[in-house]
Structure 1
Amino acid sequence: MGFAEEHRRWLDYHLKQRKGERLDRLKRGHGHGEQMFAERVWWPIFGHFDHLHPEYEVSDWRGRPYFVDFVWNPGRVKFAIEVKGYGPHVQNSDRTKYRQELNREICLQIGGYRVVAVPYDDLETTPGLTISLLRSLFMPYLTVSEEEKAHYSRLEREILQIALRTGGGIRPADLVQELQIHPRTAVKRLRSLCDKGKFQPIMVNGSSRVNRYEYIHSIADSHIW
């Protein structure tokens, strides 16, 4: 699935899990900036929303509920991600709010979160910079075990390497030429990778014939080999 479908499925899942203020906050809080981060930064890095929680409720230093834009909790570490605009943090009339925000960040770190502030303006103008920085930040926490590596054959790992290098769609003919394999083998391995969630078939307009296979980006793939 593409971003729009996967984002809708992910958001619907979290909406169904909530009620009361937590539900209302998700409906109100996941706005333009958060959706732009999801589409322009998170999706190009991961290609999925596993372990990412929108409008995640935590407690501040007073014990009051506070909602973080995103929390990513893959198991080894917890990241609290906030999309921040420029205006609210430089106006003197908001000094109290600004102090409270800094105190909340300290509380998040006390609670074991690594706090990441993402500039809203960069999402509009230079999302590539944010992608580059977050890839470097997240990479140490995305190592793949030997058991996970064994889930892929040698040929499948080579196909994933090609997909990472080209960053786009792959045709069986491309693999035949580059890897010197039989066309049926290329199709079989691509279908296997579709079943494992690494590719999705792209049909020719108006037919059921597959034209190419689109790679589903995942930062963890660079560790598979």
Structure 2
Amino acid sequence: MGFAEEHCKWLDDHKNRRSGERLDRLKRGHGHGEQMFVERVWWPIFGHMADLHPEYEVMDWRGRPYFVDFVWKPGQVKFAFEIKGYGPHVQNTDRTRYRQELNRETYLQIAGYRVVAVPYDDLESAPELTISLLKSLLVPSLLKKAEGEGRLYTRLESDILRLAARWNGSIRPVDLVNELGVNPRTVKKLMNSLCEKGKFRPIPAPVSNRVCRYEYIHSFMDTELW
């Protein structure tokens, strides 16, 4: 599946787990800017939306609910992403609301979140800049997480990822058997593991429904984590 299908699946999953105001806020709040962030920045970096939560509810210092555009929580790490448009945030005539927004961001820092403001204009005109900045910001957290869990990929898994990238993203089990010199059962075990880690999607044959190839889910983070 490509981005559009994965985005719908991810959004529907969050909607199915919500009700009341939390559901209404997701329907209203996940707008054009938020969708651009996921498609033009997050998807190119990770290739999936695992651990990314849209319109995430937190309580502010007064105990009132507040919805962050996105929260990313891989393990113990917590990042809060806010998409900032020029008009609403710079020319806001409601000074009380603007002040409360700034205080909420400070409170999020106190609550253990790293708050990241993403310019809306860059999502439209220069998403590659946001990608570069976020990679530099997030890679240390991913490396720390990987170290805590042990090596993220085994040697053979890393070899498969390199082969998939070299073979334009599509890979067949029979090719891995020949290339790596291992038996089919080992290849099947390795591919199941990489599918669970979100690096491949099995592609079944149209008639037999037997998995005959795998689609590689590219991520700019791979070269940092192999």
**Pairwise TM-score range, normalised by the shorter structure:** 0.7 to 0.9
Please give the alpha-carbon distance, in whole angstroms, between the structure 1 residues aligned to 2:52 and 2:183: 36
Residue type of the partner of 1:30?
H
Deviation at 1:65, TM superposition (A): 1.1
List alignment gaps of at least 5 residues for structure 1. none
User: Could you tell me which residue of structure 2 aligns to residue 22 of structure 1?
Assistant: 22
> Runs of 4 or more off by more than 6 Å in structure 1?
182-186, 202-206, 208-212
1:31 matched residue in structure 2: 31
Instruction: Give the percent of matched residue pairs that are identical in Structure 1 and Structure 2.
Output: 63
Number of positions where the alignment pairs a residue of Structure 1 with one of Structure 2: 220
C-alpha displacement at 1:163, in angstroms? 4.5
Aligned counterpart in structure 2 of residue 149 of structure 1, from 133, 148, 151: 151
Give the match for residue 115 of structure 1.
115
Equivalent residues in 2 for 1:95-174, closer than 5 Å: 95-143=95-143, 144-145=146-147, 149=151, 152=154, 154-163=155-164, 168-170=168-170
Alignment of 1:199 onto 2:200: yes
Q: CA RMSD in A?
A: 3.4
CA 169–210 in structure 1, closer or farther in 2 if over 3 Å, else same? farther
Report the secondary structure of 1:142's partner residue.
helix
Change (3 A) 1:73 1:182: closer
Gaps of 5+ in 2: none
Shift of 1:72: 0.6
Q: Aligned AA for 1:11? A: L
Matches within 5 A, 1:62-101: 62-91=62-91, 93-101=93-101
1:180-199 alignment, distance < 5 Å: 181=179, 189=187, 192-193=190-191, 196-197=194-195, 198-199=199-200
How far apart are residue 4 of structure 1 and its match?
1.6
The amino acid of 2:45's aligned partner reads I
- Structure 1 position 82, deviation (Å): 0.6
Amino acid at match of 1:45: I
Contact 1:71 1:81 in 2 (8 A): yes
